Structure formats: C-alpha cells, structure tokens
Structure 1
Amino acid sequence: MKYFVALSIILLLGLLIQNRLKPALLFFGLVLGYYFLDLIPTDVLLKNFVNPSLVTLVLLLIVSIVIEKTSFISMLSEKLFDKSFPKSILKISFFTSLLSAFLNNTAVVASLMSVVKQNKFHAPSKLLLPLSYAAIFGGTITLVGTSTNLIVNGFVIERGLPPLEMFDFIYVGIPVALIGSFVLVFITRFLPEQKNEISFETYFIEAKLEKNSPLIGKSIKSNGLRNLEYLFLSEILRQGHIISPVHPDEILQEEDILIFSGDIKEISLLEKFKGLELLHVKHDLSSNLVEAIISHESTLVGKSIKDVNFRTKFDASVVAIKRGEEKLSGKIAEATLCAGDSLVLAVGNDFYQRDNLKKNFYFFNNLKVNKKLSKIQSIFVLFGFIGVILLSVFKILPLLKGLFLLLVGFVLCKMLSFDEIKRRFPYDLVLIIGSALGISGVIIQTGLAQSIADTLIAAFEGFGVYGVFFAIYIFTAMLTEIITNNAAAALAFPIAYSTALSLDVSYLPFVMAVAYGASASFLTPYGYQTNLMVASVGGYSFKTFLKSGALVSLMHGLVVVVLIPMFFEF
C-alpha cells in the first residue's frame, strides 16, 4: 500500500504542476480515494474539516472582509511615498509587512495596488513586486499572518502535539522582514521601469469590420490604421487564418477581425472609424471601464470567455485582455483564461449586484462593491481585532473563541452580511486543507513518510542534523515554486515530522523549516497568490521573477536556516 500511496502522491504533484485542474478538486479527490480504500476512518476524515487551525483560518478570512472596509489602510498608505526611491521602498515594505503580520496578505496587496499605481513619484512597475515580496515576509511574522502557518499548526495539532503560539514566528520572521526590506531596494534594478506619465498598459483588443464598412477594400495605411498613437495593429484574423505582421498595404476585407495591442485608455480612438465594431462590447465605454485580475480560485481558469458565457454571468463585456509581457494571439472570445490575466471590463447596471465577483476577480481599479465604514465603525473594528489578538496572546481568551465573538459582533452591527460571508467563504481553501490533513496522515501511517525520511537522512547524514534540516527547507521551498504554498506545506510536513522522529530530535526546527520554506515563493508568479496579482499589472515576465527573486530567495534561505536552530534547538 505504501507504493500505491507514493504513486498517488506523484500523480497529485504532476497534476498540480500542470495547473489544469483546481487544487481543491485534486486534494479532495485523493482523500476520498483513500477513504474508500479504508486508509482513512470516517470520523478522522470529518474531524479534519473542523480542525481548530482550519476553523481559525476561515474566521480570520471572514473577519478580514470587514477590516478591508475600514478607511485606515487607504489613509495610512498616502504617507508611503517619498521623492527618495529607497525611502519609498522601505516605507512600503515595513508598512506592508506590519499589516500582513495580522491581516490576510492577499487583501493587503489588493488594497495597496491601486495606491501604488496612482503614486506621483515612482514607476509602479518598480514597486509592485517589492509590495508582493514584503507581504510574504510579513505573513511569516505571526501564526495568523499567512494560511501556511495555520496549516502547519493544524498538522501539529493533528499529531497530538502542543499547538504553535501566536508569536513563535517573530524570532525568524522579523529579521526576515527587516533584512528583506533592504534587499528589495537592491532588486529594483532588475524590474522594468514604466513611468506613470508615459507608460501604458498593453492590452489585447479585438475589433471587427462590419458589412458595408467604408474601410473595406482600402489598405491599412489609407484607412489611417497604421499610425494610431498608443495603439498598434498587430494582426488580422481572416477566415480562420492569422495575418501577422500586418503590412501597411494590406487590403481589408469584409468580416476581417483586427487585433490591436496598446493602451486601453485610448480605446476611444477606434470608435471614430465608421464600420469598425469593438467585439464583445454591449455596454457604454464612457465611464464604466473596470480593471480586474482573474483570481487563483476563479472558475474561469482554463476556460474561454465564450465557454463561460461571460456577459450573461457577470453583466459585463471583456473589452481587452493582458497577460504580463506575453503576446496574445487570436480571438479574445477563444483565448483560454489563466489565473493572473488582467481584464478590462465594460460593466452593465447589474454588474455590482452579482454575487460571484470577489471569488473570480481581484479588483484594483474603479470597483465600488463594498461601502467603506465610518470613522467610528473603523475604530471599533480595529480595536476589536487588536483586542482579540491581545486576549489570545495573554491566554485570556482563545483566538478561535475571540474571532467567533468578533464575527457575531460584526454581523449584529450590520458591518457584515450573510450574503457577503457566502460570497467570500473560502470553500477551496477548506477543501485543500481538510483534505491535506487526511493525506498527511495516510503518508505517515503507511510508512511512506518514514521511507522518504530515511532516504534524506542517508543522503545528508554526512552533514549531521543540520544538513538534513537544510535539505527539508530546500525541498519545501522547491515544492512551493512549482505548486502552491499550501500544497507544499501539506506534502512536506509528514516528511519533516518523520525525519525529526528518526533523528530523535525536536520536531520544532523541522516544522518551522516547512512553514518558512512553503512561504518562500519568490522565483515564479504561480506559487503565491500575491505574486500572481502583481505579475500582469506590473508587466513582469517570468525572467523578471527569476532575476529579482533569486537574490530574495537566497537572503530568505540564509536567514531562515541560520536563525531557526538558534531559537528552536534540535
């Protein structure tokens, strides 16, 4: 059975890397398979989905909905920027790390992205990736800073061990955040610079020649489509064939589809051409353009706009699409959507009432779905949250109970509705973590974790306990770059735990290596959702992540592997 479990884990890893199926479905499908093979008892399977750490994480995410409505983040963020670029980077990094230590870092980055884009001193492309990295640093300062820490704590509790405390992570997390902030100043030299006043977001825009259009039968040049400011005719779709590059003397034909790339803000330039219709747009473009990023939890991932019947589902038309620096080709309606794609939507009157927006998109421009709380309400929310954290720290009231009370208070005060809870409930995260707890148990019980641990020990025993500990960190960090942070923690924990038992040393350094390794996603945009959020908006290529993330990964690894054994002895 051990070899069967090993093959199933390899299959799971392969499917996660391919990114074609949602991780929640993969994890839940595997744990169900184990259940029907009697590898997991019914009571254990159900118990995993009400694990205290999982429930705490869900409550934190729901409570953060109310915190997002406060005015404090936007008020404080106005003080972040300075004429001095290094000072601006350090301010953003410290501020973001502090917020991310207690709030959901995805929400923090989403709140600050628009502020960064609108700053008048520096190019947003120089600031957005440091913003994401700082959010990752901050998440590792406390137990509640990132879902990864809470997941690891869930595994610890499941093994019958004492739970991790709120500030067990500060001894390593704070130095990582402080040193990392100065490293972020250095890595900005690897980031593209697109000045606010002259830069534009390059989107993929589609228009079609109508029947009897006066443009038909004339060349690109004579129609004035060659030298449009901020827009470039990149290709023509004609009867299923792509014409690219487009020659100035190319004669336009009836039903040609013209693909433009360039600044979405200049889309009105195309409206002056008679007989040229912007496709998929059935809404007014004068004042209702909204920019949105497809979330990692979106049901749109892997599907085309045509397949999901986008206009009916959201009461919005996709005007343009952008994917980092990648050059898109073909029809917008047939493009396969990916997590992190940036869309420009022309929205209808019913758009803001749809209950599927927050699940499918990260919004950073022009969206007014949530009404901001008043100053008094914001103070109540802030002090209520701080109070719950302090009561937990001083062991007066468990964090789980405190969050429950806070949630009830928010609902009774009408700061949070049941509809909002339903819309924002992290169903996928619950499936992943609840399933991962069961999978972790199977890996340990079947002896697979022990076999892998024995292999690691044999390979690194020449370097002693420290060498094996280092190998666990590297293994987890590599996993998080090719799958996701939560999945990496789920797969690495049982191996780390079994390794500690085999070496007859404390499990804590190895558990911490998994926690920090699973959050060490700096080399790709796919391992951590905040990286995905800034990738398209900042115009970052995969190469940009590799160059800038390499130094950050090196710094993070060195600080972590040096400090963990100092504060958590073997």
Structure 2
Amino acid sequence: MLTARFFKQQIAQKFPNLGMAILIVAVSSVVAIALIYTVITLTLSWQAWLTIAVMVATLWLNALTSYPPEVIFLGGLGILFVTGVVGAEDALAGFSNPGMVTVGVLYVVVAGLQQTGGLNWVSQHVLGLPKGLFSALVRLIFPVLGMSAFLNNTPVVAMFVPVVSDWARKLRISPSKLMIPLSYAAIFGGICTLIGTSTNLVVNGLLISKAGYPGMNMFDITRVSLPCALIGAAYLLTAGRWLLPNRKPALSEQDNPREYKVEMVVEAGSPLAGKTIEKAGLRHLPGLFLGEIVRAGQVIPAVSPQEQLQEHDQLIFVGIVDSIVDLKKMRGLVPATNQVEKLDVPPTARRLIEAVVSNTCPVAGQTIRKGQFRNRYNAVILAVARNGERLQGKIGDIILRPGDVLLLEAPPTFLAQQRSSRDFYLVSDVPNSEPLRHQKAPIALGILVAMVALATFGWMDMLQAATLAAMVMVLARCSGAGYALGNVQWSVLLVIAAALGIGQALETTGAAGTLAGAFIGLAGQNPWMALAAVYAVTSILTEVITNNAAAVLVFPIALAVSKSLGVDFMPFAIAIMIGASASFSTPIGYQTNLMVYGPGGYRFGDFMRIGLPLNLIFWVLTVLLAPRVFPF
C-alpha cells in the first residue's frame, strides 16, 4: 500500500496534469496510427518523418511535463536545425514573422493604455461589476465577439488581457475562468465578417486569383459563421463553463499577513465626488475594507455602500498592498499626508516600496514625524503594518518599532540606496505601482482608435499600424520606454517563433501537403465527405502551423477535389476560412490563445479539454450549413 502511494505521489509530481496528459496522448496516438495507416503507401523523406516526430513530441512533452513551453518548442526547433532539416533562414524565420512581431509591438501599445488608465474606462463601462461567473462571461464574450467582427482580433485581445486580469481580481474569480473565453470570443467574432481576421482576406484573395471567383462581400461568410459563433458562445456559457480550469494564485489576499491602514482624500474637482461608494468602485476591491470617512471633522463609521462621496472626504482603508495600489491609481484620490507633495521627484517617477525596519534604524523608537523620515530618506510613509495589529492615530504619530513593515512612496533610486543599508532588514518593490498618467488617457485611447482604423481600412497593414502606435505612445509619454519593454511577454513570443519554425519545416519537407492530400483523398467521390475532410485537415493543420499557412496549403488541394467532383467550390472555401481560424484545442494554433496562456496560468492540456468539443461543434455546423447557404 505504501509503495503504491509512493509511486502515485511521484507520478503526480512529475506529471502534474496526468488525466489531461492521458487524454492528449490517447488522441495524438490515434492520430499517429491514422497517419501511419494513411501514408503507408506514400513516400516521405526522413526529414519529413523527423519533423512529424518532433511535432508529436512537443505536444506530448507539453502535456506530460512541467517544462516551460518556450523551452520545449525551442528544443524541438533546435533538433530540426542541427539535423539539417531546416536551414538557418527557415529556423529563424519565425523570429521575424510579422504576426509574431505584431504581438510583441502590441504589448508596447497596451503598456501605454495601462499607464494612462485608459483600460480602466474599458473595465468600468464595458465589463462593469457583474455578480457570478455566468454574468461575467456574458459581459465579456459578447462585447469581444462584436468588436472582433470588425477589428483585428489580436489587438482586441491584447487590450483586454490586462483589463480582464484586474477585473478577475476585483470579482474574486480566477483569471483561468475568463482568459480562454476571451480568446475564443475573439476567434468567434473574427470569422463573422470578411475583415474579421486576416485568414478570411487571404482565402478571399486566393478565390479571386486561383479559383476565378469575383470575391466575397463583407457578410457572405456571416450566414455560416454567425450560427457557429452563437452556438460556440452558448457552449462556453453552459458546458464549457464547467470545463474551464480553476487556477488559484500561489498567494491570495487571505494568505497575506500584512494589513495596512492607509488614509486617502477625495481631492477638489475629483470625478469621484457625488458618486456613491459602490459606484466609485471602492466596495469591490479584494482584501480592502473602508473603515470610516472623516468629513469636516466628523467621523462616519460603518460606511454604507450608498454613502455619497464629497470633496475633501478623508477615507480610512485597511487592506493588503495590491488593493492599495488600486487606490493609488484612482483618479481624484490622493494620499492624506501632505508629505507626498514635498518629495523632490515628479509623481510619474515614483513608485510604491515595502521596507522592514531594522533594530539599528535611526528612526526606530521615534514617531514618524519626529524622526523626519522624509528628509532622511526622500521617501514618504503611506502606511505601517505590524503583525496584523491595526494601528490607531494619524500616520505621523505612529512610533516605529523594529520589524514594522512600511509602505513607502519613493523614487526607484531608494531601492538601490537602501538594499544594502543596515536601516532596513528588507526592501522590495511593489509590482505595477507606478502612478498613472491620467491626463494622457485621451491621447492613449486616440492612438488605439487610430491604429485600429489604419489597419481596418487597409491604409497600413497591422504591423505598420501597431509599430506607429507604439512609437507614438512612447513619444507622447503615455508610457515610459522601460515600462513598455518590461511589459512585453518574451516567453509568449519565443513560443510563437519556435512553433512557426516547426510549422515551416512541416511545409518545406512536404509532410503537411502530402498528409493533407492523403486524408482528403480518403473521402472518395462524396462531396459531403470531401467537405468534412477539407475542414478536418485544415483544422488539424492550423493547430500545428499558422492559420494562414494552413489555409494556403489546403486551398489548392480542395480546389482540385471540387473540380474532380464537379461541384461548386464555395462551400470548400467557407470550410477553409472557418477551419483555419477556429483553433481551440492547442494554445499554439492561434496567436490569441498564446496571448492568454500565461495570464490565465494555463497548462497545455487545458485547451484540449475545453477546445476539442468546440472544434467538433464547429466542424459539424460548418459542414451542415455551408452547402445549404452555398449549394454544391
């Protein structure tokens, strides 16, 4: 019994998602057997077989191990490179791929929206504060679906990722319950119009140049794709809601032992004045409690959510540091202490820092006021935490003791100066605590709208528009250059680049084209079966190579099949459009899936658990609807 338990524990440690891993291995094994059976009469080079083996191995390793995805995919690409399957140009092509670079540049654009507070407007006016996961998913899915139908879905997801992360924390919902629906909703919207995704435009171009068709109108595809999108949304709101993983953060607010008391003031002309506590967003900050309001010398205890704020109200909060960061970022709410105004650095150059007072600190045993903390350290104490004790009185009257944790507002140089000082046991930066540049928010939102307009109307391609927007964001000081570069998710970009390299190998070795043709050939002379095969092959390929590459690869094969059957090609074109974009089963199949992979805290198999049924739903619906809207 003990031996069995020991082995069970060892397996659980080495394979953290064993159930999902078994499903992936089972599915991929069935696919592998089908591949072997299909190509037994085909001649493939050893390079093609090695590429297929590397592709399958990367999927298995992502499912079976806890190694970072970027390590696995870079390792797979490295094998193909050192064995000569791909040359240096093809191996590095993914690192200069416009799609990958566009994602990276969009992180800089989003940094500007974050630092100006422009995303707060989206959160408040689009998402709101729903009660419960179902309402939250409704608030998220349908606006994103509608926006992605007319805007490029990559910037839509890039804009919403930080908003949804913050929104999930306020709603006390795990981000893993919302990030996959965000990506899928963007995919749903993208397939609904001709301009919703680049894949639709690519296939439309091939229709004109290769098939001799006049081209599609804006909403021709909508008659097939909209029912798919709506049923897909219904799936996420019902069965899919239960399949979403519930990844808890390593440290929640209930685990945080440090509670600070902090005093904030509603400044004159504040947009919060006249709003209730609930409408101002001060009631739903996790781990934060509004203890009382001091108004014109009178204390209002047990504050009601319907209490209206007034200018110069002094608000007394008790809570964790993350929510205090949120308070600091609210427009019209400032620290009550006047010491902040006396710092010799501008507000945009400050941040929040936590420091633990040592027993050799010269201000220990003195009040903050008498110890002249600001003059000595060029930093202002906003709050003090002491072993869970709620300290009373004004901040300047608190007598500091060794072990007290101080929440400071200070320039970044404080970190370098005091980390090796004997005055503090520990000094650490509070993440994402840079002051917001609220006055720049209209500029940042204007840049975003201009970027989307330039790309949507074809005046610039997406990469050019995003690059211009990123440059203007930094030049207009909507975001600092250091913050913007630090906001780039480099691990996501490495996965995209390496996956593109492996996909390129599948194309150049002939593996992808040969296998696609063999599978479609199994359909025989039945146009319905041929249509189902075209969709299935396109969907499988788009999970392992780029969506546009999958569409371009399958298009001539499907065109030849339709001609040999003597049927109209339009149902096949629609199947290619939807099959190439409807990538739900792996995070590498579509850029937006990779963009939510890290923020959602997902494992590789999470996408297969919720995405595989969705892939099957779209497959069945498209095959049934396309020939009825566009008869053979």
Range into which the TM-score falls when normalised by the shorter chain: 0.5 to 0.7
Deviations 1:152-192 (A, max 9, x none): 9999999xx99x99989983665554444444443488479
In structure 2, do the counterparts of structure 1 residues 394 and 268 end up closer, same or farther at CA, with 3 Å as the change threshold?
Answer: closer
Q: Which residue of 2 aligns with 1:470?
A: 532
- Assess if the C-alpha contact under 8 Å between 2:451 and 2:465 holds in 1: yes
Alignment of 1:142-221 (within 5 A): 142=190, 171=222, 175-187=227-239, 190=242
Counterpart-to-counterpart distance in 1, 2:531 and 2:242? 32
Is this contact kept in 2: 1:134–1:181, CA < 8 A?
A: no
Q: How far did 1:456 drift? A: 0.3
Aligned equivalent of 2:475: 412
- Report 1:98-497 matches (<5 A): 98=146, 101=153, 103=155, 105=157, 108-119=160-171, 124=173, 129=177, 132-142=180-190, 171=222, 175-187=227-239, 190=242, 265=254, 287-288=320-321, 367-375=431-439, 377-464=440-527, 466-471=528-533, 473-474=535-536, 489=547, 496=554
The question of whether the paired residues in 1 share the 8 Å contact of 2:523 and 2:530 is answered with yes
Q: 1:165/1:392 Cα in 2 relative to 1: closer, same or farther (>3 Å)?
A: farther
Inter-partner Cα distance in structure 1 for 2:607 and 2:89: 47
- Does the 8 Å contact 1:190/1:544 carry over to 2? no
User: CA 1:288–1:4 in 2, change beyond 3 Å: closer, same or farther?
Assistant: same
Q: Which amino acid aligns with 2:432?
A: K
Selected match of 2:105 from 40, 51, 59: 59
Deviation at 1:390, TM superposition (A): 1.8
Mapped contact 2:188–2:582 kept (Cα < 8 A): no
Query: Which runs of 5 or more residues in structure 2 are unaligned?
Result: 1-43, 259-317, 325-352, 356-404, 414-429, 564-568
1:512 aligns with 2:512: no
Query: What displacement does 1:108 show?
Result: 1.8
DSSP-derived class of the 1:17 partner:
helix
Taking the aligned partners of 1:347 and 1:167, their CA distance within structure 2 comes to 58
Give the partner amino acid of 2:112. V
The Cα offsets for residues 404-450 of structure 1, whole Å up to 9 and x where unpaired, read as 22222112112233323433445445444445445444433433223
1:4 alignment counterpart: 47
Measure the CA separation in 1 of the matches of 2:71 and 2:106. Answer: 23
Larger of the two Rg values belongs to structure? 2
SS at match of 1:69: helix
Hey, what's the Cα distance between the residues in 2 that align with 1:414 and 1:140?
35
1:529–1:24 distance in 2 versus 1, CA, 3 Å: same
Whether the 8 Å contact between 1:180 and 1:552 is mirrored in structure 2 is: yes
Q: Does 1:50 align with 2:96?
A: yes
Question: C-alpha separation between the residues in 1 aligned to 2:631 and 2:436?
Answer: 47
In 2: Cα distance, 1:437 partner to 1:188 partner? 29
1:71 aligned partner: 117
Q: Distance in 2 between matches of 1:32 and 1:399?
A: 30
CA distance in 1, matches of 2:495, 2:629: 31
Note closer, same or farther for the CA distance 1:495–1:479 as it changes in structure 2 (3 Å cut).
Answer: closer
Q: Which residue does the alignment assign to 1:240?
A: none
Pair 1:34–1:59, CA change in 2 (3 A): same
The residue type paired with residue 141 of structure 1 is G
Partner of residue 323, structure 1: none
Aligned CA distance change for structure 1 residues 470 and 59 (closer, same or farther; 3 Å): farther
| Cα deviation digits, residues 246-305 of structure 1 (max 9, x gap) | xxxxxxxxxxxxxxxxx8616659xxxxxxxxxxxxxxx9844799xxxxxxxxxxxxxx
1:316-368 CA-partner distances (Å, limit 9, x unpaired): 9xxxxxxxxxxxxxxxxxxxxxxxxxxxxx999899979xxxxxxxxxxx953
Work out the CA distance in 2 between the residues paired with 1:432 and 1:46.
13
Contact 2:555 2:576 in 1 (8 A): yes
- Give yes or no for contact 1:454–1:499 (8 Å, CA) kept in 2: yes
Counterpart of 2:160, as a letter, is V
1:203 and 1:55 map into 2 onto residues whose CA distance is 30
What TM-score do you get using the length of structure 1 for normalisation? 0.53
Shift of 1:452: 0.7
CA drift of 1:30 comes to: 4.7
Secondary structure of the residue that 1:449 maps to in structure 2? helix
1 CA distance for matches of 2:408 and 2:221? 47
Give 1:14's aligned residue.
57
Q: Given residue 384 of structure 1, which amino acid in structure 2 is its aligned partner?
A: I
Distance 1:395 1:494, change over 3 A: closer
State the distance in 1 between where 2:558 and 2:320 align. 60
Hey, what's the Cα distance between the residues in 2 that align with 1:115 and 1:462?
A: 52
> Helix, strand or coil: the match of 2:189?
coil
User: What CA distance in whole angstroms lies between the structure 2 residues aligned with 1:118 and 1:187?
Assistant: 25
Identical amino acids, percent of aligned pairs:
17
Q: Does 1:97 align with 2:149?
A: no
**Partner of 2:561 in structure 1?**
503
Q: CA deviation at 1:519?
A: 3.5
8 Å CA contact retained: 1:35, 1:42:
yes
How many equivalent residue pairs? Answer: 409
Q: Deviations over 1:70-97 (max 9, x none)?
A: 4344334345345798665433322343
| 105-114 or 493-502, which deviates more | 493-502
Residue 157 to residue 67, structure 1, CA distance change in 2 (3 Å)? farther
Structure 1: give runs of 5+ residues left out of the alignment: 195-200, 206-262, 270-284, 292-313, 317-345, 355-365
Q: Does the CA-based 8 Å contact 2:517-2:557 persist in structure 1? A: yes
Evaluate the alpha carbon distance shift between residue 265 and residue 562 of structure 1 in structure 2; reply closer, same or farther with a 3 A threshold: same
